[in-house]
Amino acid sequence: MKITVVGTGYVGLVSGACLAEVGNDVLCLDLNPEKIRILKDGGIPIHEPGLDQVVSRNVAAGRLHFTTSIEEAVRFGTVQFIAVGTPPDEDGSADLQYVLAAARNIGRLMTDYKVVIDKSTVPVGTADKVRGAIAEELVKRDVVVPYSVVSNPEFLKEGAAVEDFMRPDRIVVGADDEQAINLMRALYAPFQRSHEKLVLMDVRSAELTKYAANAMLATRISFMNELAVLAEKLGADIEHVRQGIGSDPRIGRHFLYAGCGYGGSCFPKDVKALIQTAASAGQGLKVLQAVEDANEAQKLVLVDKITRRFGSDLSGKHFALWGLAFKPNTDDMREAPSRVLISELCKRGATVTAYDPVAMDEARRIFAEEPRLSYAVRPMQALDGADALVIVTEWLEFRSPDFSAIRKTLKSPAVFDGRNMYDPALLLANGLEYEAIGLGIKR
């Protein structure tokens, strides 16, 4: 199949590369010339495990190409994936300008049948808008060209995106015409050889499914985070509670980890967008609003612990920070809890030395104007001269540090862990104070 992917970000590049991997001819379009230059030079503009091999293998095989030319991109694929960003607008609703610009480009230039697939996360009703935008362009040109619009939300996780795309749990397709449905079946056949994974539905339900999934996951996290705060007050241990409830198959073990708040490019924006969608339909989503509020509060939980230990004026204090990315295995810092933490510590007069295996370039870009933030090349180097260690991302390489070296290096023996990575007994045995999330009992 000839496939165009519009938008070569986390979703577009992974989708394009994986679709090429199963034998399709794929052209990835991006309007950011720098991204396309890097890709054409054999580089990868994002950090995503395993992606470089899939991209280079398929470029070498002549199945994966990159362009900034809209004309070339529209001409190329019968299948046109729209995988551009849908950032939050001022009121929290999804900004559709990039999606609709991509749709208009397709309508402006197409000369034969196209299946236009919304892969971006978009509110219910967007497929109708995409259909309308294409129709308008065809009317302007006074031509009739057949096309279908399909909703096919993406469920990949950053950090495991290639694996998720190649071996999906489910493939949600919202479509209402036979030709498009047949094409979607053929397109995804290579990804469901073990068993049927295609969940076929109407377009609006598919659009809502994506938001429902992210909203449910965010709800679990905020629920556990609130319980963690309560556990501390009551002298209970959220880690025991997690294990106790997770073993119930109706609850399950996933997404029950208390921490210093969820971040990333999806949960925060999708929760806000669903609240807005509901508001414009005249409904308040009380549970989801609370999920959002609880998360905003949770991003400050480490700052509260730090100021309780060192006072609210942190002038002259210096902190080592492990982890910048919103989760391990990605360089993505969109809405990362580390951003709130760094800003709050610096605002209170502290200085911070951060270490992250892959997200430091991104942090340098985001915090270009923050002289109080510096970077270390190794985790332990970040501790030089630091009063305390603060951990916000559970990278594998932080799992088993040398606690006695940490004790010797830190000025105060304090470790603030936003991801509950360690056995408290181990830190106590090494003379360290351990402040984690929801550990209300001394073990």
- Taking CB under 6 A as the rule, which mask of x and - marks residues 96-125 in contact with ligand NAD? --x--xx-----------------xx----
Which of 3, 7, 358, 383 contacts ligand NAD by CB under 6 A?
7
- Taking CB under 6 A as the rule, which mask of x and - marks residues 253-282 in contact with ligand NAD? ------------xx----------------
- Taking CB under 6 A as the rule, which mask of x and - marks residues 139-178 in contact with ligand NAD? ---------------x-x-x--------------------
Angle at 73 between CA 72 and CA 75, to 5 degrees: 65
Residue showing the smallest CB distance to ligand NAD in the complex: 9
Cβ nearer to ligand NAD, comparing 269 with 305: 269
Q: With CB under 6 A, what is the number of residues at the site for ligand NAD? A: 26
Q: Which of 18, 28, 260, 266 is catalytic?
A: 266
Residue 266 CB, nearest approach to ligand NAD (Å): 5
Cβ nearer to ligand NAD, comparing 276 with 351: 276
Residue 249 CB, nearest approach to ligand NAD (Å): 27
Residue 166 CB, nearest approach to ligand NAD (Å): 15
Cβ nearer to ligand NAD, comparing 68 with 307: 68
Subset of 397-426 contacting ligand NAD (CB under 6 A): none
Which of 3, 11, 187, 215 contacts ligand NAD by CB under 6 A?
11
- Taking CB under 6 A as the rule, which mask of x and - marks residues 48-87 in contact with ligand NAD? -----------------------------------xxxx-
Instruction: Say how far apart CA 415 and CA 433 lie, in whole Å.
Output: 6
Cβ nearer to ligand NAD, comparing 55 with 320: 55
- Residue 4 in contact with ligand NAD, rule: CB under 6 A: no
Which of 5, 6, 388, 391 contacts ligand NAD by CB under 6 A?
6
Residue in this structure with the two tokens 């009063």, named with its chain if needed: 387
Which of 3, 4, 5, 12 contacts ligand NAD by CB under 6 A?
12
Instruction: Say how far apart CA 196 and CA 169 lie, in whole Å.
Output: 10
Residue 333 CB, nearest approach to ligand NAD (Å): 12
Cβ nearer to ligand NAD, comparing 12 with 379: 12
Cβ nearer to ligand NAD, comparing 203 with 427: 203
Residue in this structure with the two tokens 């309508």, named with its chain if needed: 107
Of 1-9, 173-181, 255-263, 385-393, the window that binds ligand NAD (rule: CB under 6 A) is 1-9
Instruction: Say how far apart CA 330 and CA 366 lie, in whole Å.
Output: 16
- Taking CB under 6 A as the rule, which mask of x and - marks residues 18-37 in contact with ligand NAD? -----------xxxx--x--
Residue 223 CB, nearest approach to ligand NAD (Å): 22
Cβ nearer to ligand NAD, comparing 71 with 402: 71
Of 94-102, 167-175, 354-362, 394-402, the window that binds ligand NAD (rule: CB under 6 A) is 94-102
Catalytic annotation on 346?
no
Letter string b/e over residues 90-122, b meaning 16 or more CB atoms within 10 A of that residue's CB: eebbbebebbbebbbbbbbbbeeebbbbbbbbb
Three-class SS of the chain: CEEEEECCCHHHHHHHHHHHHCCCEEEEECCCHHHHHHHHCCCCCCCCCCHHHHHHHHHHCCCEEEECCHHHHHHHCCEEEECCCCCECCCCCECCHHHHHHHHHHHHHCCCCEEEEECCCCCCCHHHHHHHHHHHHHHHHCCCCCEEEEECCCCCCCCCHHHHHHCCCCEEEECCCHHHHHHHHHHHHHHCCCCCCEEEECHHHHHHHHHHHHHHHHHHHHHHHHHHHHHHHHCCEHHHHHHHHHCCCCCCCCCCCCCCCCCCCCHHHHHHHHHHHHHHCCCCCHHHHHHHHHHHHHCCHHHHHHHHHHCCCCCCCEEEEECCCCCCCCCCCCCCHHHHHHHHHHHCCCEEEEECCCCHHHHHHHCCCCCCEEECCCCHHHHCCCCEEEECCCCHHHCCCCHHHHHHHCCCCEEEECCCCCCHHHHHHCCCEEECCCECCCC
Cβ nearer to ligand NAD, comparing 73 with 439: 73
**Residues near ligand NAD (CB under 6 A):** 6-12, 29-32, 35, 83-86, 98, 101-102, 120-121, 154, 156, 158, 265-266
List residues with catalytic annotation. 266
